[in-house]
Amino acid sequence: MCGIAGYVDFSGRTGPSVIGEMTKKIIYRGPDSTGIYRSRDNVAALGIRRLRIIDLTTGDQPIKNEDGSVVVIYNGEIYNYKPLREELEKRGHKFKTQTDTEVLVHGYEEYGEGFVPKLNGMFAFALWDEKGHKIFLGRDRVGIKPLYYYVASNLLIFGSEPKVILSHPLYKKKTDSKALSMYGYLGFLPGDQVMFSGIKKLLPGHTLSFKKSGMKVAKYFELNSSSENKTDNIDKLLETAVKSQLVSDVPVGVFLSGGLDSSLIAYYVAKFKKLKSFSIGFKEEGFDEAKYAHSVAKKIGTEHFSDEFSPKDVVDIYEKIIPKLDEPLADASLFPTYKVSQLARQHVTVALSGDGGDELFGGYPTHQAHLYANLLKFLPNTLLSGLLEGLPESVVNLFPTSFKDYPKKHLAKIVLKGMKFGDLERQLYWMRTFFIGENNLFEKPDMSFLSKMIPNLDRFDKSRVGQVVDFYTYLRDDFLVKTDRASMLNSLEVRVPYLDNNVLAWAFSTREPHLNLFKTKLQLRKLLESRLPEVAKRPKKGFGIPLKKWLRNELKDFAYTILMNKKLENYVEKKKIKSIWTAHQKGKENNAGAIWMLVMLSGWLDNWV
């Protein structure tokens, strides 16, 4: 895990000291070493901050080929680097290190830009081709590792975070008003959108090549409803994924909430190594899973460490991270994720996580709601509304704790309204409403680009469309961003076995159902039934915090002070802010999500605008 930065400036206007300043901005992503490369004509410069994981002595970057004509920096891990290395050695390539990074250099030499689809891992890399006088960027197929870029006349600037690009003297900072509206509407930025004008994310599953004659962005991966997997055994695929992600020359641990996703990963981990596990608990019973985490840890034999999360932690962490978060994120689970990363970093350098389990294996009530929508779409609205309001407790209990903060009548209204939309807009509406609520703080932005970004949605079974939409939106641009920032601010590498190439392909192509009208994650529950049966039966809680309660009590003064920020009033009408605040405080509405979205936006405006 590292942080990368660089530029290609064919105009020659960038001074030699700039690359050093760029890498300093992300020192926390790689505190162990720094490396800088400048091309022979000073047109290109690459910088890296490295967190040493594999090959601690000779693996520092940048890494070059034999004659120095191909140079690479990268952030992430290539889990299939050993078989790729063997293949390249058979073809005559000579390796100087034991690191996975060197596979990128020789893979490019052998296959050109076509080597990227061969990689199974999480990565964002930049490769300078001295002979071709071009730079080649690539990002993993899911978007686990971030990569941003800015292009102008004869100039490309790139880095692991926007702040790297902001530090380049040829970039003139300007807020992107469309992106700001999108954040206000969804609570995160989907697709290639960034809060700063002209800066873009390189989309997951894409590469970018840039030379004096121009730029080319190419897609090498998209989700497929069919697969060429050689096995239908998801048990074997997950076990293999976990085993490959345990490879490290530094201590490895596992996040263990006690829920289904993390417990299954921890179970596989325990088959290979005796590791440390980490969890965060709450005093609020509806949010606390600490006892479940301790129970699973005891059963599988991990050495378990836990800590309690409180309102004071929110204040402390907010003050630490807001100056470093160059993009706002409304997802409040960023805060407990930061704390569990902080706890884990006291003991290990790498941690495995259960991220992706919900999106790949049908874990959200909104995924189930599509089944109900298709089943009930012919009924009159009045009858539908009555049915939904009369949901039995057994069905309501399927919802995560944060969803159950809403009364049945409100849940019924949300489900009913969502049924009017097509599959894509329906899923986004449901997720947005549950996370930040329906509000009029920002106008609905143009989201037509999402239909182009999510190709062939109609090819997937109706029971799976919610998962596909979440994969291309919430997973990539909310949940993985949250995990990356929270872990990297603690110099911790987090790996995600559910997002292994082969597991990913199986999850979206298998004919086995992931859910039905009464249960989610059928395939993962089946794997746990004989191993951790008490976990297999447990409903989803989610990894949220008790925002509704805390914003009316312990965090009331803290949040209100931030909301009264004068800068925030330039973008959101003060009367609208006061309206949702008052309604929340009086208990008339649950506006916790919208309020928190504004709290994070206010902090971002103070530090970055």
Output 409 or 147, whichever has higher pLDDT. 147
Predicted local confidence at residue 399, as pLDDT? 57
In the predicted structure, residue 478 carries a pLDDT above the cut 60:
yes
Residue type, 107: G
Collect all residues with Cβ–Cβ distance below 8 Å to 350 and sequence separation of at least 6.
1, 53, 248, 250, 251, 252, 253, 492, 493, 494, 495
Q: How crowded is the C-beta side of 52, counted as CA atoms within 13 Å?
A: 13
Beta-carbon-side half-sphere exposure of residue 386 (alpha carbons within 13 Å): 4
**Residue 424 scores a pLDDT above 80:** yes
d(CA 188, CA 474): 8
* Residue 33, token pair as written in the block: 């070493």
Q: What pLDDT does 543 receive?
A: 66
pLDDT band (50, 70, 90) for residue 224? confident
Q: Are residues 70 and 158 in the same domain?
A: yes
Mean pLDDT of the chain: 92
For residue 5, is pLDDT > 80? yes
Residue where a domain terminates, one of 446, 472, 498: 472
As a whole-number percent, the residues of the chain with pLDDT over 70 amount to 92
User: Is residue 225 one of the residues assigned to a domain?
Assistant: no
Burial 120-130 (b: 16+ CB within 10 A, else e): bbbbbbbbbbb
Q: How confident is the model at residue 303 (pLDDT cuts 50, 70, 90)?
A: very high
Cα–Cα distance measured from residue 523 to residue 448, given in angstroms and rounded to the nearest whole number: 33
318 within some domain: no
> What is the band of 54 on the pLDDT scale with cuts at 50, 70, 90?
confident
DSSP codes of every residue in 325-374: -SS----TTHHHHHHHHHHHHTT-SEEE--TTHHHHHT-SHHHHHHHHHH
Average pLDDT over residues 355-363: 96
186 and 41 in a single domain? The answer is yes
Phi, psi at residue 334, to the nearest 5°? -55, -35
603 part of a folded domain = yes
Residues 76 and 198 in one domain: yes
pLDDT at 290 over 90: no
Has residue 317 been placed in a domain? Answer: no
Q: How are the residues of the chain apportioned to helix, strand and coil, as percentages rounded to the nearest 5?
A: 45, 15, 40
CB atoms within 10 A of CB 585: 15
Q: Cα separation of 177 and 266, whole Å?
A: 43
Percent pLDDT > 90 in the chain is 77
Cα 377 vs. chain centroid, distance in angstroms? 33
In this prediction, residue 130 carries a pLDDT of 96
Rg, C-alpha atoms of the chain:
24
Same domain, 117 and 214: yes
- Within-domain flag for 320: no
Total-model pTM: 0.94
> 23-51 as b/e, with b when 16 or more CB fall inside 10 Å?
bebbeebbeeebbbbbbeeebbbbbbbbb
Query: Do 100 and 158 share a domain, yes or no?
Result: yes
**Alpha carbons 49 and 237: distance in angstroms, whole number:** 33
Same domain, 354 and 212: no
Instruction: Grade residue 371 by pLDDT with cuts at 50, 70 and 90.
Output: confident
Place of tokens 């402390």: 316
Q: E-assigned strands of 40-120?
A: 44-50, 63-64, 70-78
Q: What DSSP element (H or E) covers 199?
A: strand 199-201
Q: Which of 472, 493, 515 is the last residue of a domain?
A: 472
Catalytic residue among 1, 2, 468, 563: 2
**Local confidence band at 405 (pLDDT 50, 70, 90 cut-offs):** low
Q: Is 353 annotated as a binding residue?
A: yes
Q: Average pLDDT of 407-427?
A: 79
Phi-psi region of 191 (alpha: psi -120 to 50; beta: other; left: phi over 0): left
Are residues 468 and 426 in contact, defined by beta-carbon separation less than 8 angstroms? no
User: Residue 286's pLDDT band (boundaries 50, 70, 90)?
Assistant: confident
pLDDT at 458: 87
Which CATH number goes with the domain that contains 79? 3.60.20.10
Q: What is the mean pLDDT of residues 106-120?
A: 97
Number of other residues whose CB lies within 10 A of the CB of residue 533 = 11
For 578, the token pair is 């006061």
Mean pLDDT confidence for 179-203: 97
State the pLDDT at residue 161: 98
Please indicate if the annotation marks 280 as binding a ligand.
yes
Domain C-terminal end among 219, 242, 274 = 219
| Interior/surface letters 194-210, b for 16+ CB within 10 angstroms, e for the rest | bbbebbbbbbbbbbbbb
Residue 401 burial (CB count, 10 A): 20
pLDDT of residue 55: 72
Tokens, residue 246: 């345990």
Residue 417's pLDDT is 81
pLDDT band at 396 (very low <50, low <70, confident <90, very high): low
pLDDT at 177 over 70: yes
Parent domain of 590: 547-608
Q: Are residues 242 and 184 in the same domain?
A: no
User: What's the mean pLDDT in 498-521?
Assistant: 94
Question: Once rounded to an integer, what is the mean pLDDT over residues 424-428?
Answer: 92
**pLDDT score, position 388:** 61
User: Do the annotations mark residue 603 as ligand-binding?
Assistant: no
Q: Please check whether residue 229 lies inside any domain of the structure.
A: no
Residue 404 has pLDDT above 60, yes or no: no
- pLDDT for 385 equals 65
Closest-CA residue to 486 (of 333, 289, 378): 333
**Is the confidence at residue 383, as pLDDT, over 90?**
no
Q: What are phi and psi of 206, to 5 degrees?
A: -130, 160
- The model's confidence at residue 376, banded by pLDDT at 50, 70 and 90, is confident
Residue 455 has pLDDT above 90, yes or no: no
| CATH at 258 | 3.40.50.620
Task: Check whether residue 435 and residue 503 sit in a common domain.
Answer: no
Q: What is the mean pLDDT of residues 441-451?
A: 89
Question: What mean pLDDT is predicted for residues 150-161?
Answer: 98
User: Do 77 and 53 meet the contact criterion of CB atoms below 8 Å apart?
Assistant: yes
Q: What is the mean pLDDT of residues 308-318?
A: 97
Number of domains in the chain: 4
Q: What number is the average pLDDT over the span 590-606?
A: 97
Instruction: Mark whether 352 and 367 lie in a shared domain.
Output: no
The predicted pLDDT at position 408 comes to 61
Lowest mean pLDDT among 39-48, 421-430, 538-547: 538-547
Which pLDDT score, from 0 to 100, does residue 541 have? 65
204 & 338 share domain? no
Least confident of 134-138, 229-233, 513-517: 229-233
Give the C-alpha separation, 142 to 422, whole Å. Answer: 24
2 is catalytic: yes
Q: Return phi, psi of residue 461, to 5°.
A: -55, 145
150 closest CA partner among 330, 302, 339, 22:
22
| pLDDT score recorded for residue 533 | 94
Query: What interhelical angle do 177-186 and 592-608 show, nearest 10?
Result: 150
Looking at per-residue confidence, does 398 or 540 come out higher? 540
Residues 394 and 302 reside in one and the same domain: no
Burial classification of residue 10, based on how many CB atoms lie within 10 Å of its CB (0-12 exposed, 13-18 middle, 19 or more buried): middle
pLDDT at 407: 64
Burial (CB count within 10 angstroms: exposed 0-12, middle 13-18, buried 19+), residue 413: middle
Same domain flag for 521 and 559: no
N- to C-terminal Cα distance for the chain?
29
pLDDT of residue 447: 87
Within a domain: 345: yes
Q: How far apart are CA 48 and CA 99, in angstroms?
A: 15
pLDDT at 332: 96
